[in-house]
Structure 1
Amino acid sequence: MSVVIEGLTAGYGRTPVLRDLDLVVAPGELLVVAGPSGCGKSTLLRAVAGLLPITAGRVLVDGEPVRGTSRDRAVVFQEDGLLPWRNALRNVELPLALGGVGRPERRARARAWLARVGLADFERYLPRELSGGMRQRVQLARTLAQGPKLVLMDEPFGALDAQTRAAMQELVVEVLRETGTTTIFVTHDVDEAVRLGDRVVVLGAGEVDVRREAILAAVMG
């Protein structure tokens, strides 16, 4: 799934956060958008997801303008959003159930994805019984079980310790490469950006920071 952003201006209230932004994401690419807090990273993700109205310009996903949310586009947030009264398996099943997938199929898909993220033995555990990294694995399984063509990740590992974060980074890259899912990953961490991205775009004050982007490109080789 391709993403083409043309002249995007978007924000909250009267002050735009993004200004006349142009960006292209190729099918299957893992693009990392890096930059300091307040530069527009999350605003960009919300605009692509269809969660935020666009003031000017347009966002095209596979050539079609974004006019709202879609099951083909999934968002992964820093907060895992798991329902505390549902175990890991039933949390992964939930969006499939809401989408009308029958119980046998959704249960099989949920179990397969929990196994893929290393949680086959934890399907009956409630969120409070899981570590932060394990909850993020459940969130990743829940997202990918839906079969999205585009995944938008908003600093999903920001609250994890360094060791768990590194393990999650490896898992995400491995799984997304396997599925060929187009991904836009937002982070303020330069090391994470270099480690994860096929390509890194740096934002600064709502625009592409060409100078810093060139420095990162040189570091990535």
Structure 2
Amino acid sequence: MTAGTESRRVDAGLAIRLDGVALGYGRRAILEDLRLDIAPGEVLVLVGPSGSGKSTVLRAVAGLLAPHAGRVLAQGVTVSGPSPDRAMIFQDDALLPWRTVRRNVELPLRIRGVPRRERGTVAESWIARVGLAGFEDRLPRELSGGMRQRVQLARSLAGAPRAVLMDEPFGALDAQTRGEMQRLLLDVLHGTSATVVFVTHDVDEALLLADRVVVLRRGGIGSVLSVPGPRTPDVDRAGLRARIIEEL
């Protein structure tokens, strides 16, 4: 990783606060009076039934949806729109189909004005980290679904965001590929101090990835549960799993 990229990581990890936030679309409120603090570098996972507003919360944190009331704060500053400091990863990989893997991964660096040589070096490093060395010149249509998600992860992290917002990114993958992506994400998160907010409907995925799990109910936050480490599948979290499922 280059010196320029390291300098952008000095203050990595956004503190995020939901301060009395109400969210909805049009005049219809989905969630009311959300109050939550997310620590810098924390992995917070949102779970809840369909229609509970998981993705709505994520869009508000990303600056894609303005609250009806209250404030979303990032490092003490009110979120008023998207920012390169808050990268969004969707279930649909959203890669640009005419750009190669390398050029897709370079995109956030190009937007930030990073010189060509540096962004090429950073992109190569992230492509290798997600296990796609040798695929740099492939187009998205030449890749499997899991490979495209690897590219999206590399693209999101190459820009050194201070928060990564993930909206069921592995939901469309088969079970084996999903497990591979979960392990890859854990490995990648080990090397970054970015704050992560992850949305899933899969309780086991939530318990594997999270420092804390927030259970959304219709209208607001139900429980906020701390998840003991380490983040490995063999840790017994049966009690937490049963509690979350009962609440859902």
- TM bracket, shorter-chain basis: over 0.9
Deviation for aligned residue 1:205: 0.7
Deviation for aligned residue 1:12: 0.5
* Match runs of 1:102-181 below 5 Å: 102-181=115-194
1:24 is the counterpart of 2:37: yes
Deviation for aligned residue 1:83: 1.2
Deviation for aligned residue 1:218: 3.9
Decide which of 62, 66, 91 is 1:78's aligned counterpart.
Answer: 91
**CA distance in 1: counterparts of 2:123 and 2:139, whole angstroms:** 15
Q: Secondary structure at 1:209's aligned position in 2? A: strand
**CA distance in 2: counterparts of 1:129 and 1:69, whole angstroms:** 30
Where structure 2 has 5 or more consecutive residues not aligned to the other structure, the ranges are 1-13, 227-236, 244-248
Decide which of 196, 199, 203 is 2:216's aligned counterpart.
Answer: 203
Query: RMSD of the alignment, in Å?
Result: 1.9
Per-residue CA distance 1:186-220 (angstroms, 9 max, x = gap): 0011111111111100001131123x959x89426
**CA distance in 2: counterparts of 1:177 and 1:185, whole angstroms:** 16
Q: Secondary structure at 2:131's aligned position in 1? A: coil
Q: 1:183 to 1:195 in 2, by over 3 A?
A: same
TM (normalized to structure 2)?
0.84
TM (normalized to structure 1)?
0.94
Name the counterpart of 1:90: 103
Per-residue CA distance 1:74-101 (angstroms, 9 max, x = gap): 1000000111111100111122212211
Sequence identity, in percent? Answer: 61
Q: Runs in 1 of length 4+ with deviation above 3 angstroms? A: none
Where structure 1 has 5 or more consecutive residues not aligned to the other structure, the ranges are none
Asked if the contact 2:212/2:225 (under 8 Å) is kept, the reply is no
1:185 is the counterpart of 2:198: yes
Asked if the contact 2:164/2:194 (under 8 Å) is kept, the reply is yes
Name the counterpart of 2:56: 43
**CA distance in 1: counterparts of 2:83 and 2:225, whole angstroms:** 31
